[in-house]
Amino acid sequence: MSEFVTTKDGVEIFFKDWGPKDAQPIMFHHGWPLSSDDWDGQMLFFLNNGFRVVAHDRRGHGRSAQVGTGHDMDHYAADAAAVVEHLNLRNVVHIGHSTGGGEVARYVAKHGQPSGRVAKAVLVSAVPPLMIKAPNNPDGLPIEVLDGIRQGVATNRAQMFRDFAAGPFYGFNRPGAKVSQGIIDNWWRQGMNGSAQAHYDGIKAFSETDQTADLQAIKVPTLILQGDDDQVVPYKNAALKQGKLVPHATVKIYPGYPHGMLATNADVINPDLLAFVRG
């Protein structure tokens, strides 16, 4: 089943809801600039293992409304909460990739735990605590790198998306990489279905939002996964810091895996996710 929920500020959010309604729900939160389609491999895997699986398109992304406002972590988390409340989901495992990891951290801290609806959390190649270089984050990305991404979105988004997917996102720019044109095309398709403004504004949201407090507030069991060849979100500034900030965290670093390892290495990642969910 797929349908829409209208948020408190009047935005239509698209979501998918597959599987038995009495099964434990797993909710997936996608990365920038993608959609819930990026989770197809995980949703089918968990569906076939007896779970209820839910995923939504972030506002301005995929099939959700291309609104001009609310492209920030607070609205992202509130939109996820609207889906959870609409479906009355409980005992939920929230899994977020990249920007979706930031969304999960904010959702769990501000909505999931206070409402008693969240059971566990998973952060995969996630952006928290802070991506951008700052006095309190000297190992972060220089603003010039992020401005370059913004310029690409503003001037030739179609080409920039092709280059990003064919290069650093999946590690296809590494010597000997097994390149999948289908994965590249699917990334591009998802991105181009979204709003250029949402993607442009979203860069600030995922890179300049300090989520240290969100991570410290997470009390549920949390799994943190990242590859040590992540060229988008360096793992030393992400997973390793997350592991120190989240009270009940398990951290696993995969040698040689890229930012988009959920697609390139699903044969390894999916069983690890399942073991944590069932554990």
Ordered by where they begin, the domains of the chain are 2-278 (3.40.50.1820)
Residue 167 DSSP class: I
Is the C-alpha dihedral spanning 8, 97, 61, 152 positive or negative? Answer: positive
Catalytic (active site) residue 230 = yes
C-alpha angle 241/247/252, rounded to 5°? 50
Query: What SS3 class is residue 181?
Result: helix
Q: Which residues of the chain have pLDDT under 70?
A: 1-2
Query: Distance of CA 197 to CAs 34, 116, 119, 190, 209, Å?
Result: 14, 34, 34, 15, 18
Question: Is the CB of residue 33 less than 8 Å from the CB of residue 162?
Answer: no
Q: Which of 17, 79, 214, 230 is catalytic?
A: 230
Run of H or E including 107: helix 99-107
For residue 6, the cross-strand partners are 12
Question: Is the CB of residue 55 less than 8 Å from the CB of residue 34?
Answer: no
* Type of residue at 237: N
Run of H or E including 104: helix 99-107
Query: Distance of CA 270 to CAs 19, 46, 273, 277, Å?
Result: 18, 8, 5, 11
Residues 6+ apart with CB under 8 A from 128: 101, 102, 105, 211, 212, 214, 215, 238, 242
What pLDDT sits at residue 160? 97
Q: Which of 36, 98, 125, 195 is catalytic?
A: 98
Catalytic (active site) residue 259 = yes
What pLDDT sits at residue 246? 98
Question: Is the CB of residue 131 less than 8 Å from the CB of residue 233?
Answer: yes
Residues 6+ apart with CB under 8 A from 144: none
Torsion angles phi and psi, residue 253, rounded to 5 = -110, 130
What pLDDT sits at residue 2? 66
Question: Which pair of structure tokens corresponds to residue 202?
Answer: 């979203």
Q: How far is CA 266 from the centre of its chain?
A: 15
Q: For residues 92 and 107, give the distance between their C-alpha atoms in angstroms, rounded to a whole number.
A: 12
Q: pLDDT tens, 74-114? A: 999 999 999 999 999 999 999 999 999 999 999 999 999 99
